[in-house]
A and B are shown apart, each in its own frame.
Chain A
Amino acid sequence: MSQPSSELMIEARAVEKWYPNGFQALRGANLTVRRGEVVVIMGPSGSGKSTFIRTFNALEDFQKGSITVDGIVLSNDLRNIDAVRREVGMVFQQFNLFPHLSVLDNLTLAPVLVRKRPKAEVEQQAWALLERVGIAEQAGKYPGQLSGGQQQRVAIARALCMEPRILLFDEPTSSLDPEMVREVLEVMQNLAAEEITMVVVTHEVKFARHVAHRVVLMADGEVVEEAEPEVFFTNPSHQRTRRFLDQIL
């Protein structure tokens, strides 16, 4: 496991968010993530995990507090938002592959359009990435022709093709059949061994235990507990965490 440096990649301070219907989903959530670190976020359904990590790449806005990502202060400035999204990749629960594009084109679309890189060069990189997640032979197929596990691995490769410095995962294995969960977790585990910073919302205890540097519990729009995996799972300091662990373990 690589050791995180002390450089801050994500710094979220007292973030508060209200949805347009008036519901407050974040109530002063705090989190810092250092470069190269793997942070797992756990918590009961509806506690605001998705909302929180989606603020990190400006898919959701927030009303109070501050978020700095890789030195960029998130504000409503559009240029800022584009800059952040180029640095931060995201993997969704529902994969969200582009069904009208072949697997290879799913990977090359953004680098060619956004980074303006030559298509041939990007394709080469895309092949290498598909190789790495173990589905190079499917490059010509369409997402609808792949299994869920394969689709999620393509989605990871697609995010990597933009060469992000941070990868966000929102329950990447929750809509997969059990036998496919492992292949995706393996890919993620290999990633974790590299430079890249990862924030992962997941209920996979084994992944959190063995891969994460830190595990975080969210409840009611706040970060309640923050500890190393060993401590988090065996000796958490908060009652709320114990109750949560009792439910899932």
Chain B
Amino acid sequence: MKHLLRRLRAELFATRADAALSLVLISLISLGAIGFLRWAFTQAQWAVVKVNSTLFAVGRYPVEQQWRLWLLTALLIAASGATWGLIRAHPRPDRTGVLWPRNDRLAVVLLSLIALALPLALDLSLAIAGRWWGLTVLLVVCRWLAGRFGARLSPAGQRLAALVWPVLYLVGMVLISGGLGLVTVSPSEWGGLMLTLLASSFAILLCFPIGVLLALGRRSDLPLLRWGSVLYIEFIRGAPLITLLFLGQNILGFLLPGGLAPDRIWRAAWVLTFFAAAYLAEAVRSGLAAVPRGQLEAARSLGLSYPKALQHVVLPQALRVALPAIVGQFISLLQDTTLLSLIGLLELLGTARTVMANPAFLGRNGEVYLTLALLFWGCCAALGLGSRALERRLDPHALPSAT
């Protein structure tokens, strides 16, 4: 305690000017916090969030089909837990024996606490709260199992395990939209957080390979490829996303073969993809520029073909350098999905606007927007944490050196 006080004094009140500034800041922060808490606990009426929680989560998805979404959530959580455990079970070759980050355990505990408390705080029905608790247990168990037994997995087995994710994505598509014996749920009934995540994950997954190809195209020796890439990137980056979204609604039907762009939602998702790809290409390009020429030469002199040299030597380094910028792109892509509400899609923001338009919830904008902000913040924080963990796992020595 004494130690803490001394430290506080050293850090906040070292000089007279420091002390004055600290006092002013502390009182401002306290004022803000008190005001906010007063509002949150006395004035705010959270009923608007409780009553519409399903709407915010999945929009107008038919109630009797919602088990499919629960199933998908369970699958995703199981896969996340297993991936988490597997990463734990396979530390970097130079770190074997070192306990994997201690804060990893802390993360599990924190996550469990949040999962336990949140349904209670939201006053969800016991049935729903129970499901969330079950899912939390599933996550922890899968992580433990994979961490326990994953070390025995051969490299080939690991590669196979990674395939779970693309397969799961396809399974998720089927679960959400129906087909293969499931009742079809048309995209017009999708909404809320589900639509936000669906559109952004679709765009994130597809913009990545497109962006990498564009970045490579921009450095290509073939003039046609180079100028094509430059033209594309500069055109997209020069136009606001909202105009492209409107443009996409009008012309994408002509550009893409019929089967690929049947619905407004998919058209919007493709526009997001093509938009993000241009920015991603620039991020990857900066990464490529950071890899010294000698790397390609060394790979080539060992007999690797140009594509193999790119795949195994140049791109891993370039992407490692570009990782923070790439994740930054993904985060802004996630936030850009709010623009879909302007073309009439009921993703999170669109749903929120319909809720606020309901006379029963008049004047409850503060509560709704705060909830939205928290949801987005949660998703972005997850992306950011994941990327930082990845950065730490990929070696700091793995950065290309200037030599």
A59 engages B94 (CB within 8 Å)? no
A contact residues around B301 at 8 Å (CB): 57, 59, 85, 88-90
B contact residues around A115 at 8 Å (CB): 303
B294 engages A100 (CB within 8 Å)? no
How many angstroms between the C-alpha atoms of A86 and B302 in the bound complex?
A: 7
A94 engages B304 (CB within 8 Å)? no
B294 engages A86 (CB within 8 Å)? no
Within 8 A of A (CB), among B279-306: 292, 294-295, 297-305
What is the minimal beta-carbon distance from A96 to any residue of chain B, in angstroms?
A: 4
B contact residues around A114 at 8 Å (CB): 302-304, 308
How many angstroms between the C-alpha atoms of A90 and B320 in the bound complex?
A: 26
Within 8 A of A (CB), among B258-293: 292
Is B395 on the interface with A (CB-CB < 8 A)?
A: yes
Question: Looking at the complex, which one of B297, B302, B401, B403 makes contact with A162 (CB distance below 8 Å)?
Answer: B302
A contact residues around B398 at 8 Å (CB): 99-100, 142, 144
A100 engages B302 (CB within 8 Å)? no
Chain B 310-354 interface mask (CB, 8 Å, partner A; 1/0): 001100110010000000000000000000000000000000000
Question: Looking at the complex, which one of A59, A113, A141, A175 makes contact with B304 (CB distance below 8 Å)?
Answer: A113
B contact residues around A59 at 8 Å (CB): 297, 300-301
Known: A57-B301, A82-B305, A92-B294. A102 touches B312 (CB 8 A): no
Is B384 on the interface with A (CB-CB < 8 A)?
A: no
How many angstroms between the C-alpha atoms of A6 and B397 in the bound complex?
A: 46
Is B113 on the interface with A (CB-CB < 8 A)?
A: no
A-B contact pairs, 27 of them (CB 8 A): A59-B297, A59-B301, A88-B301, A90-B301, A92-B297, A92-B298, A94-B403, A96-B297, A99-B317, A99-B401, A109-B302, A109-B312, A110-B302, A113-B308, A114-B302, A114-B304, A114-B308, A140-B94, A140-B96, A141-B94, A142-B94, A142-B397, A142-B398, A144-B395, A144-B398, A145-B397, A159-B302
Within 8 A of B (CB), among A68-119: 82, 85-86, 88-90, 92, 94-100, 102, 109-110, 113-115
What is the minimal beta-carbon distance from B397 to any residue of chain A, in angstroms?
A: 3
A102 engages B94 (CB within 8 Å)? yes
What is the minimal beta-carbon distance from A174 to any residue of chain B, in angstroms?
A: 12
How many angstroms between the C-alpha atoms of A59 and B313 in the bound complex?
A: 17
Chain B 64-107 interface mask (CB, 8 Å, partner A; 1/0): 00000000000000000000000000000110100000000000
Is B183 on the interface with A (CB-CB < 8 A)?
A: no
Within 8 A of B (CB), among A130-167: 140-145, 158-159, 162
Known: A113-B312, A114-B304, A142-B94. A98 touches B298 (CB 8 A): yes
A contact residues around B308 at 8 Å (CB): 113-114
Which residue on A lies nearest to B319, using beta carbons?
A100
A contact residues around B305 at 8 Å (CB): 82
Is B122 on the interface with A (CB-CB < 8 A)?
A: no
* Interface of chain B: mostly helix, strand, loop or mixed: helix
A contact residues around B94 at 8 Å (CB): 102, 140-142, 145
Q: Told that A85-B303, A96-B295 touch, could you supply 13 new A-B pairs with CB distance under 8 A?
A: A90-B298, A90-B301, A94-B403, A96-B294, A99-B398, A109-B304, A110-B299, A110-B303, A140-B94, A140-B96, A141-B94, A144-B395, A144-B399
Known: A94-B294, A102-B93. A85 touches B397 (CB 8 A): no
Residue in B294, B301, B312, B400 whose Cβ sees the most chain A Cβ within 10 Å: B301
Is B40 on the interface with A (CB-CB < 8 A)?
A: no
How many angstroms between the C-alpha atoms of A35 and B303 in the bound complex?
A: 21
Is B394 on the interface with A (CB-CB < 8 A)?
A: yes
Chain A interfacial positions (CB closer than 8 Å to B): 57, 59, 82, 85-86, 88-90, 92, 94-100, 102, 109-110, 113-115, 140-145, 158-159, 162, 175
What is the minimal beta-carbon distance from A19 to any residue of chain B, in angstroms?
A: 14
Q: Which 7 A-B pairs have the closest CB atoms?
A: A144-B397, A96-B298, A110-B302, A100-B398, A96-B294, A90-B301, A114-B303
Residue in B298, B305, B394, B400 whose Cβ sees the most chain A Cβ within 10 Å: B298
B294 engages A85 (CB within 8 Å)? no
How many angstroms between the C-alpha atoms of A139 and B401 in the bound complex?
A: 20
How many angstroms between the C-alpha atoms of A59 and B306 in the bound complex?
A: 12
B contact residues around A102 at 8 Å (CB): 93-94
Question: Looking at the complex, which one of B294, B304, B320, B394 makes contact with A110 (CB distance below 8 Å)?
Answer: B304
A contact residues around B395 at 8 Å (CB): 99-100, 142, 144
How many angstroms between the C-alpha atoms of A144 and B304 in the bound complex?
A: 23
B397 engages A98 (CB within 8 Å)? no
A contact residues around B320 at 8 Å (CB): 100
How many angstroms between the C-alpha atoms of A90 and B301 in the bound complex?
A: 6
A contact residues around B304 at 8 Å (CB): 109-110, 113-114
How many angstroms between the C-alpha atoms of A158 and B299 in the bound complex?
A: 11
How many angstroms between the C-alpha atoms of A57 and B399 in the bound complex?
A: 27
Residue in B303, B304, B305 whose Cβ sees the most chain A Cβ within 10 Å: B303
Which residue on B lies nearest to A142, using beta carbons?
B397
A contact residues around B302 at 8 Å (CB): 85, 89, 109-110, 114, 158-159, 162
What is the minimal beta-carbon distance from A10 to any residue of chain B, in angstroms?
A: 15
What is the minimal beta-carbon distance from B104 to any residue of chain A, in angstroms?
A: 22
How many angstroms between the C-alpha atoms of A82 and B317 in the bound complex?
A: 24
B contact residues around A113 at 8 Å (CB): 304, 308, 312
B contact residues around A141 at 8 Å (CB): 94
What is the minimal beta-carbon distance from A86 to any residue of chain B, in angstroms?
A: 4
B contact residues around A109 at 8 Å (CB): 302, 304, 312-313
What is the minimal beta-carbon distance from B153 to any residue of chain A, in angstroms?
A: 16
Which residue on A lies nearest to B313, using beta carbons?
A98
How many angstroms between the C-alpha atoms of A223 and B214 in the bound complex?
A: 44
What is the minimal beta-carbon distance from A89 to any residue of chain B, in angstroms?
A: 7
A contact residues around B96 at 8 Å (CB): 140
B contact residues around A158 at 8 Å (CB): 302
What is the minimal beta-carbon distance from B169 to any residue of chain A, in angstroms?
A: 27
